Structure 1
């Protein structure tokens, strides 16, 4: 594929008045101030050649200039619009995909959420943009230090879902519209990544500064962790791909510029007064003397620090409990029956105001004097099939017992506890592993009854019987042969209809005119071969019958007619030459061509072979040539030959082998004429 000396076209940014006309932001967070931070971006696009380009970028930030400690606030950020050309240098740009922007999670604040702002993107398709929190490896992580705008995290690198030679994620297609809705006359296609809202709770002091991702490897020029990456696709003598990576710097060899610093600064103001709190109390309506119950106090806001002292009828119970995440819980057993008035007093730490919860009543009673003994028995099937549900039944006596039954298999709980009704609890369960399963049933009694367990019962679980696979048998036989000269009869057996599996076992019985020829031939890797010599001239119908093997069923090939003629001293000798590519890709069709040299070679057939395995059916010779389009399915060196059958008055011949080196599929970048770079011109 010819190479173009340089990549001449890059993405053009929206700047100046075009930015104002094409503004896509819908509103701003409450009390926010909008600012625009401009900086230079150096981008590297890698194909068979590498191109470096410096562009002008900006990020628009809507955020308050200051917040109070503990205040919830929102930062809105959006990168500038971009464009890519229709074509350049003979290459036609197809689209950009796998678009990504990475930002830092700002420090000195607690992250709450991040969301795409509806209606703020332009000309994006394929996968809807989303924002996720990621770790250094680019994987989703609730505690990760970065926020990523992408489509399903499908990017060119630094993600569990990456590719540099296939479309994915957010895609920017061709369009004739500018950002302001007007019609584009220069052929450029415009797009813009959406804005995101980041909601946070301010810390105690300091400043909060949103930034693009530049920490660690993200600061390295041309790295997959760069804050902005994308994948350009173009067409010129095939598909061309160019992964592009951008960092804030003034030139390829320069250090990071101001674009790696704060995009905006939000000051955390000193709190003039302590924060008011409210305390609420949750207790059970009833309790039994001697049995512990949970008393829970909830303090708002949930970052309040301090302790809660629980009281019953005005008397402190237990020690003060530290508030964690706005909650303090005391496990307490009342020792006297009667109505208990429970309260909770929050004693605040520094920065907060103490508060108390309204009293709640717990009615405490003594336990029932004697619980009724129970017995539990278990009924299970003797056998089961993996994946097919069977009933496991526990019977509890007496039949008025209340409670639940937990079934277990080999000591592990299966399903949720089943409520006992009329003395019976039944679980429909499908075992997923073959073997002996020891099933038990534990009855957990309700009030007034005693728990009990059933003796273990064994269920022998087996896998379902394998499903037979239909096969198809295909003959590969030359259409022409000579009396007394050997020819090879080939039969290929595979799964029907998918060809996904081939048997290695079983036999093929070859037949001519319905009569068995020789002994059955063993099938190896889906192929059986029988050398045969025709003893008389004429047209003979050849077929083959596969015996079946294991889960593979038997099948019979459609018959193939072979025209057999008597060789004569006047037969003209032939020679066969083979033309095949020296290399090929898996999944990509190539052409195999056999040329038969002989004055009488106007008929007959050519059978192509990959090693000793026939490739498809025999191909008719037309004008001295036979051509076959073939797609290789495995990598490695493939030895290809072509065998000419001969014809009336012409002898058969075999070509010299040609080796085709087959590699994995994929495009190259030798002729890429147009790429897109983000953020500026």
Structure 2
């Protein structure tokens, strides 16, 4: 047999030798495009030596180099045996040298005397379609007077075929922020995902730790920054064989000082059994620390991080391997805390002896010289150990490790006959051995090569059947032919009869079609494929019809779909939609019989819409009947702002005021407390609606205002305002609040808002508001006065209020609202420029008292 086909093992040795009588024979890889590591299309040279080791001289009658399976001999490359030699390539791909001049009298061979050697070198090319992996080779030679051929095959002289170098890209994922002393993950994603190599993470061009191996296209480094500042992080991918190095763009990480230090203690059982869950508990101090705990076994994550609650995090974990496990708990801190890691605790894990079963899967038939898979499935799937495959009780190769419950051996049979195959599982700790039932594999000699020729018409018309005919040689070949169009199956396989298979086929697309015939061989024959033949397919002119689908109504400014359906659905071309005979946008390509245009009408009117189909080759054009779309103007959007007191007392009425924009909006406002209606809806007048309401429960009440728009206006809902309702105090000092007059200011001006609280000894804070929106935080009252600065960025008329929240012993109060006019705005509703009367805000003094 030829040198062995690819395997996934390491290339191993590139030379080997043996001996017979007083001769040493040796084979080695001596040259090539890239030594023992090759790419498809590279060349490799082997040297075969027969060395005389003293004693009687020898006559080598022939020497044969056996290349790896599929490698192509480079004609004229065989050298070293001298000018008196005859070189020929054998049917199995090996290259033979025999003596043709200056040969020995006896046997007519090459003369090899004491201290001399016969050298024979041959060069081969790796096929472009060669599979990737390790390839073996061999050599044989005959000696006059020896009773048998000498040498070895396989000779364990290996080369490895690898993929050509592939360009890569590297992207970096790093947190935008970090704190010193707390590890963060730096992750590099290398594409393609099968790239091999390492990633060196760098901070400002300086290496961070050691390179990290790429696995599944990802490399991650856990890194702890030790200096505060902005760090420029990059990831440099150093490629392994077959790939090109690449570097990510830089990512900035802003590193700050840590917050509160923490401690993490771990509680685990001293012993556990595989398959039985145990609790791993981490206690983090202080108890208010926020973050997650990552439990680890020997530094490897156990499941996902567990959130810390009340200072503890617990994970229920089932160990699946026997041994001493070193468990730690790593606290990953949230904002304001520093991460910490517990001391390691040992858990001694043992396992019960588990019974196993072994099932064997092998092909029912095989041929000599072609590898097949022998697969053993061991149950349960977590069983550890090895499987020894056997043929008639004799070991086949070395034992194969079980992974995920399976073990597979690629094996090539070299003898014809029925082979009885078994799989013997040798169990690791905690499991019991088992043996499969025997399976028979019938091994036959290789099949007969075939050729396939294809006959097709040079042209065809869609909708009209033509014959595709394949002729398979030899004529007695058995099997089926799968006809293909551009590599896609045409119908079902056709049985070969008398060396011929014919398919009647109707093309349905206009194009140049590349037709092939693939012979799928039956027993005793080898499959083959014809060369491709082109069939130019054209189509007859087909009549079409076009139907338009459009909405009966639409709004200006809102997109609607206009859809044309063209029959037949195979028609090719485009549709031009028209409004009153005028084109709407560009033509739309027809796909699957339809063309759709999203269109926004911009005029109020009745629009007459049509769809005109402009046909492609083989089809006629057509136009739809007109459809009328009645286009009207849309309703106006509104906004609703709620003004409610921050505090209130049970039993005392307060005003809830909703301001609706634009001020011309018609409709009503439903005030709600926690989603529950407060009274009946209030009609909007001049842009406002006010409800006097008395709270009867002490609590925080979430108040909203829901505007239901009248004709021409859309609904809107305010954001929620929280009113803190408390019981009235018996002896609180009454207060009053006044707001200094502001008047008119220019857009962009900054003004000082000033509130005066009486009596001047009153303690508390003032919250200034503009149009119901708080200006900054509450301002403390000092000597009866509170001030705040505010910039009026927009034009309009605004209500400014000041709400005094009294400290213990003082009542709340509010200033009467002040109107501030910022020139430059005109209300589109009535053209007066007015934003409505402040009267709609109600009496704020009634909220808190005078």
Shorter-chain TM-score category?
A: 0.3 to 0.5
> TM-score, with normalisation over the residues of structure 1?
0.34
From the two aligned structures, give the one with the greater strand fraction: 2
Compare CA radii of gyration and give the structure with the larger one: 2
> TM-score, with normalisation over the residues of structure 2?
0.29
